[in-house]
Structure 1
Amino acid sequence: MSHEPGEVWEQFAVALAEMARDLLAQDSAQDTLDRIVEHATVLINGCDHAGILTVRRGEVHSLAATSDVVRRADRIQQDLKEGPCFDAVTERQQVYTIEDSRRPHERWSRFAPELRKLGIGSVMGFLLFTEDDELGALNLYSHRPDTFDEAARRAGWILASHAAVAFSAARTHQQLGHALETRHEIGEAMGILMERHGLNEDTAFKVLKKASQDHNVKLRAIARQICETGEKPG
């Protein structure tokens, strides 16, 4: 990068725009997550590894990771129920850092030494969220202590904000796609029941719904079974 701050940020803005186009081109929410962490290691100075995790009901889930180091760090947070990424999601802490894992850390006294064993010197992370949808935490790891300066924090926050919006859009698009596929399969299954078994539209849907409830299986799965076999369920 150029040594002039203005040119550095101009280049970052161009790279960010290219990232945004790349994220929108992904085929699924998972692909979008995978690309976010890859871009983070390129765009943020000093970032050697990156990952995205979420915490559901006290359980840590790795959503994306650029290396096994990230997945191991996620497992350590799960085992200890302690760590900055864990806190970011459970306590809505928007930005957090461990500047030097070699120094005693008052808040994460057990987690920081474990990071050091993984060869991680510093960590920076951001809560990934949109206005109405909390998503998880983007975590950036460096092998070197005291790596992430104020410029890196600012760049990370901007990247995380773009990433959250991109992921939310990808997930909404994916959910819509699943909904349309489900609607199509249910419609096809109802058509089979109406044609082969002489049912009207209302009765055909009731048959689908009752089979779903009786077997505790999703309506789409019942519909798919009818489409494959042509048989009336139950």
Structure 2
Amino acid sequence: MASMARDLLTQDSVAATLERISASATELVDGCEASGILVLHGRKVKTLAPTHQLVIDSDRLQERLGEGPCFDVAHSPHGDRVLRIADLTAEQDRWPAYARQARELGVGSMMGFLLFTEDENLGALNLYSSEPGAFTATSEMAGLLLASHAAVAFSSARTHAQMEEAVATRHTIGEAMGILMGARHLTEDQAFDVLRRYSQEKNIKLREVARLICEQGTP
């Protein structure tokens, strides 16, 4: 687990970090056959880094039905941060429609862990097994440790990616302003005003206007 935590921080992108998290779940958590990360946008579900099609199918089912354990873990910041379901057939009260249809997909038991930091909830790490009773208290502890490391790595990777994007955007805007200043004999403030005004009038993001100018030499 310690080796995995160090490995997560060496990944070179958000996608690679998430894929390593999912793969680690199948490697380190007893009983885990498939894993993935569920992120909610309102009531819409996005599946990240699934190790198997089963994960995608389960997430889509929960989105369609508007119910399910992973859906609940990811949706409510005040909900259970850890959820272990020994046997889906015994969950007719909490998620009647999902429990029945998920069993048809081949889900026997599952666990869900909220991925969170002090500042935000990032989604839910979900682990699946085709067999009922596959996950034990030891599995849950391993999953919780994995989720704790995963949340920090996920947040760090995303912040790094956002910073890289911001630097790239600033560079592109500066280059576009230079083109306008040279072509139209504008001051720095005037060149930026041209970019801003064009962005507002055409309802195009400023960085996209700058990119077009860098490629074409003019808006």
TM-score bracket relative to the smaller structure: over 0.9
CA deviation after TM superposition for structure 1 residue 104, in Å: 4.5
Q: Which amino acid aligns with 1:135?
A: L
Tell me: higher relative CO, structure 1 or 2? Use CA pairs within 8 A at least 6 residues apart: 2
Q: Which amino acid aligns with 2:71?
A: F
TM-score by length of 2: 0.96
Specify the alignment match of 2:66 in structure 1. 81
Structure 1, gaps ≥5 residues long: 1-15
Q: Deviations over 1:59-94 (max 9, x none)?
A: 111122001110000000001000011111222320
Matches within 5 A, 1:31-180: 31-92=16-77, 93-180=80-167
Contact residue 181 and residue 191 of structure 2 kept, 8 A: yes
Specify the alignment match of 1:7 in structure 2. none
Q: Which runs of 4+ in 1 moved over 6 A?
A: none
Report SS of the residue matched to 2:179.
Answer: helix
Instruction: Work out the percentage of aligned pairs sharing the same amino acid.
Output: 54
CA deviation after TM superposition for structure 1 residue 217, in Å: 1.0
Specify the alignment match of 1:30 in structure 2. 15
Report SS of the residue matched to 2:89.
Answer: coil
Specify the alignment match of 2:195 in structure 1. 208
Q: Does 1:19 align with 2:4?
A: yes
TM-score by length of 1: 0.90
Report SS of the residue matched to 2:95.
Answer: coil
User: For 1:40 and 1:216, how far apart are their aligned partners in 2?
Assistant: 43
Given the superposition, is the C-alpha separation of residues 207 and 150 from structure 1 closer, same or farther in structure 2, using an over 3 Å criterion? same
Structure 2, gaps ≥5 residues long: none
Report SS of the residue matched to 1:135.
Answer: strand
What is the aligned-residue RMSD (CA, Å)?
Answer: 1.0
Report SS of the residue matched to 1:65.
Answer: coil
